[in-house]
Structure 1
Amino acid sequence: MATESTERILVVDDDETFVHVLSRALGARGFEVSGARDATQALAACAEHRPRYVVLDLKLGSESGLALIPRLLAVRPDLRILLLTGYASIATAVEAIKRGAHDYLAKPVDADQVVAALLGESASHVNAAVVPDAPPPLKRLEWEHIQRVLAECDGNISEAARRLGLHRRTLQRKLAKRPVREARRDVPPG
């Protein structure tokens, strides 16, 4: 999927290797790509390079990609933002869209999925959704609820802990853990 004219993409992720690999793959598809590793670099690159698209990670070290969405749109209102995360949940997807993201994908993703999402094309042939036949694990539901409350508190851990009835340190430990991944149902066990 190459573009006719060179479109600019800004890739914002705190994982330098991911930025490098995705940038090369997008460059091979005809895009002019720049990278940023935090909010400050992202805002500066957005103002300087004037990208049409932004691929943004949900977690940027201690910063939140969700909080960066409106700030990027303030610099360049016509941006098309794709939020990527290794911590996919319905709550964060809804919050991302509310804040101005155009699409949301769970990692791992490949460059074709990214391009399809950025261009607003159906990526169903690339990223077919798997409908689970069992409810998600309790730990997964807990993690999603914590993420929803944290988003409602604009990332304020103390306020989120108060609303959840948890000690602040307990909430920090829960946030440091990776969420339980849902088992893929499209691959037969064995």
Structure 2
Amino acid sequence: MRPGPCIRPVMREAPFGGFPHFLLYSTLHHTTAMTVTTTLFEQIEKDYVQAYKARDSVRLTVLRLLKTAVKNRLVDLRRPGGSLSDEEMLDVIVKEGKQRQDSIEQYTAAQRPDLAEKEAAELAVLKDYLPKALGQEELTALIESTITALGAASPKDMGRVISTIMSSHKGQVDGKALSEAVKKRLQS
């Protein structure tokens, strides 16, 4: 590669008498504004490295398990060398969060508060990667607008209302709470 007017080669000695390495660096002294968007997986990778350096064992364990779940999902989709979209990543994170929530309930029922606390800490790490959950007022307003838009009038339409809301607000709505609220609204 022939260097352009803004890039010049610099020779640097390699350590221990190895071959010299050529480095290219820019001599431009100004930068252009660039918008860099990182995917959810890239953010998880960065946080994994930070947790490793900080020796944050809980975060490190959760992110390691999350990366494994992503790889398993890629194998399930027959894309072992590929990547997941952010929507697919959210599905994986939501699934892992549900597993932690179920574990918390089971450990609490079995009177194992130490294990329940551990799962709660892991769930808190997973929630960092999910979109902000809707509040009760926002959820009620969303249910009302969806019922009006779909023309739902009876409990028979409950499935359509729930699937519409879940698809448009993935990761922001708890399925159980949504189901109960829609059922209550359509029965009244």
**TM-score relative to the length of structure 1:** 0.30
Structure with higher RCO (Cα < 8 A, 6+ apart): 1
**TM-score relative to the length of structure 2:** 0.30
Larger proportion of strand:
1
Larger Rg: 2
